[in-house]
Structure 1
Amino acid sequence: MFGKKKPTPQIDKDQLELIENAQKRIKQKKRLYVHFVVFLIGAIFLIVANTVLGIGENVTFFGKEWFLYAILLWLFFFLYHLFNVFITHKFMGKAWEKQQLEKLVSKQKQRIEELKSSFVKEEKIIAKSEVYNESKNETKKSKLTIIVAAAENNAIGKGNQLIWHLSDDLKRFKNLTNEHHIIMGRKTFESFPKPLPNRTHVVITRQANYKVPDGVIVVNSLEDAIDASKNDSQPFIIGGGEIYKQALTIVDKIELTRVHESFEADTFFPSIDTSIWKETANTFHAKDDNHAFEFSFITYQKK
């Protein structure tokens, strides 16, 4: 009750603007009315001063008394004031400003829509070029190849060692894999006395902090190994048995040395499904002084 302030009425911003405009309009009309009254009194004064008091009675311009020109000049300023209050105010007042603003906003919106449409066209062109580039990249992606020597019963090794020694097979392995990435499991890598020259070794292992010589890449999965070899046009997967099994469904080609004999082994190559794989090359080698077994170089391409 006591000490409480009466709430002050809140006036809407638009209402306040209307009130201010109305007050300015009233002041304009008051000034015009004052100007009119002063003009009438001033005109009468000039006439009386000349005709009754004789002020400047001998001053004429073009045969007319000077006060007539003074009254006409003053009338001009009054008419200009009248025009400004009732005419100019209408087409340059708040309504006119609002109309001009709406026109400008409309033009800006139209310009923005034009820019948007041009951006959409550019985005479509960019998107098409990106799709084209992606398709080009797809054609340029690495072609994975398995290279393996397997017996008739698919045996490939025993005790982490090769079961046979075929000179021409080793030469073929060297020629095909030279200057390429070779992907292998840890045990296969450890079967080498040292890393093979002119090749980038990618070793797959789950062991943490697995120590390898400089230049050897260590990864934790076949996917990571493929990613590490993506800049190579044809990385080779060289073993062992589990890596071959994982890779068989994703590789593009198999370079197989088929040893025409069966052996006891602890590591085997998966069977090749001929409904998926097509034989594209087959070269037979007979036994000789350097080769204890018959073998064939066979190339398979995925259908």
Structure 2
Amino acid sequence: MFGKKKEQPQIDKEQLELIKNAQKRIKQKKRLYVHFVIFLIGAVFLILANTVLGIGEDFKILGKEWFLFAILIWLFLLIYHIFNVFITHRFMGKAWEQKQLDKLIVQQKIRIEKLKNELKNEAPIIAKSEHYNDSLKKKEIAPELTIIVAAAENDAIGKDNKLIWHLSDDLKRFKSLTNRHHIIMGRKTFESFPKPLPNRTHIVITRQSDYKTPEGVIVVNSLEDAINAAKNDPQPFIIGGGEIYKQALLLADRIELTRVHEDFEADTFFPEIDTSVWKETANIFHTKDENHEYEFSFLTYERR
């Protein structure tokens, strides 16, 4: 009742393209052949019209019969037609156009890869924290967000919410760098101060909704809000503690580190500095003396 459908022969795209090109070449050559025949007949007609019928026998160009120039012009058109069929369409047809297009595409791909590599070297490291991925796209990060910290060789920075050492020059450096800037910190770091530091705008990050602070201290709920609150400062500083440092390390442009050359017991640590991300740009060594119990170095890192 139901007969099987006859299988249709399949022709791949390359074969179909070859057939189309062959048919096109045949049409081109047929047109050229017709043109050649018409040229021969037309040339004979022009000669007979002038010599036998006397058409334009008194009309001459540069002393020569007019039909000679007519035949030469027509011959030029015929030669042009021959050139198109056997040169232009053969060697500069679809295949030639595709080849040139492929070359341009390759050149563009090379240029795009070059631009990608340049952008990769210059672009800031994208925040890996899921909390910031979406929100930071909507906010402008301060142009020179700087982390300032003193850390031991084992990255210890504090114990029981207190400093483990007292280094006079380190405190002076902290004061000099942060003076007249916004300083961003967690609640515990703020509470470690006897009172707010002079000549600085304090921004405290806390989850407590009713947290009370002295007048002039800004309270926010996230690092993102803290950075936004300091957006008019050309160089706000992140000053602690450990969790705030960890979040800020993904966003900061610079680290001002005092590296104390000892290991200490601690309950708060600074994250390890990835030297593939950060480049050391300054290193000043200090020896022990009557005001400094430990050797230390002032290090500056900038994002690569």
Tell me the TM-score normalized by structure 2: 0.54
Query: Does structure 1 residue 227 correspond to structure 2 residue 233?
Result: no
Q: Distance in 1 between matches of 2:241 and 2:142?
A: 24
Q: Distance in 1 between matches of 2:262 and 2:211?
A: 37
Runs of 4+ in 1 over 6 A off after TM superposition: none
Deviations 1:75-96 (A, max 9, x none): xxxxxxxxxxxxxxxxxxxxxx
Query: Does structure 1 residue 157 correspond to structure 2 residue 162?
Result: no
Deviations 1:53-74 (A, max 9, x none): xxxxxxxxxxxxxxxxxxxxxx
Q: Distance in 2 between matches of 1:220 and 1:288?
A: 42
Letter in 2 for 1:233: P
Whether contact under 8 Å (2:150, 2:259) holds in the other structure is yes
> Within 5 A, what are the aligned runs for 1:281-296?
281-296=282-297
Which residue number corresponds to residue 279 of structure 1? Answer: 280
* Structure in which a larger fraction of residues adopt helix: 1
Deviations 1:164-200 (A, max 9, x none): 0000000000000000000000000000000000000
| SS at 1:195 equivalent | coil
Please say which structure displays the higher CA radius of gyration: 1
Q: Distance in 2 between matches of 1:198 and 1:255?
A: 20
Query: Does structure 1 residue 236 correspond to structure 2 residue 209?
Result: no
Whether contact under 8 Å (1:202, 1:219) holds in the other structure is yes
Q: Distance in 1 between matches of 2:140 and 2:166?
A: 37
Letter in 2 for 1:216: V
> Within 5 A, what are the aligned runs for 1:13-32?
none
- Summarize the Cα distance change of 1:141–1:210 in structure 2 as closer, same or farther, 3 Å threshold: closer
Whether contact under 8 Å (1:181, 1:200) holds in the other structure is yes
> Within 5 A, what are the aligned runs for 1:47-62?
none
| SS at 2:231 equivalent | coil
Deviations 1:273-303 (A, max 9, x none): 0000000000000000000000000000000
Letter in 2 for 1:300: Y
| SS at 1:245 equivalent | helix
Q: CA deviation at 1:142?
A: 2.8
Deviations 1:247-273 (A, max 9, x none): 001000000000000000000000000
> Within 5 A, what are the aligned runs for 1:81-120?
none
- Summarize the Cα distance change of 1:301–1:217 in structure 2 as closer, same or farther, 3 Å threshold: same
Q: CA deviation at 1:141?
A: 4.6
> Within 5 A, what are the aligned runs for 1:189-200?
189-200=190-201
Which residue number corresponds to residue 269 of structure 2? Answer: 268
- Summarize the Cα distance change of 1:147–1:141 in structure 2 as closer, same or farther, 3 Å threshold: closer
State the aligned residue count: 166
Which residue number corresponds to residue 12 of structure 2? Answer: none
Letter in 2 for 1:223: E
Whether contact under 8 Å (1:154, 1:269) holds in the other structure is yes
List gaps (5 residues or longer) in structure 2.
Answer: 1-138
Tell me the TM-score normalized by structure 1: 0.54
- Summarize the Cα distance change of 1:214–1:302 in structure 2 as closer, same or farther, 3 Å threshold: same
Percent of matched pairs sharing the same residue: 79
| SS at 2:290 equivalent | coil
- Summarize the Cα distance change of 1:187–1:270 in structure 2 as closer, same or farther, 3 Å threshold: same
Query: Does structure 1 residue 254 correspond to structure 2 residue 255?
Result: yes
Q: Distance in 2 between matches of 1:280 and 1:239?
A: 22
Letter in 2 for 1:161: K
Q: Distance in 1 between matches of 2:266 and 2:141?
A: 38
| SS at 1:163 equivalent | coil
Whether contact under 8 Å (1:155, 1:263) holds in the other structure is yes
Whether contact under 8 Å (1:142, 1:231) holds in the other structure is no
Q: Distance in 1 between matches of 2:140 and 2:160?
A: 40
Q: CA deviation at 1:140?
A: 10
- Summarize the Cα distance change of 1:140–1:213 in structure 2 as closer, same or farther, 3 Å threshold: closer
Q: Distance in 2 between matches of 1:301 and 1:140?
A: 16
Q: Distance in 1 between matches of 2:142 and 2:245?
A: 20
| SS at 1:146 equivalent | strand
Q: Distance in 1 between matches of 2:143 and 2:200?
A: 16
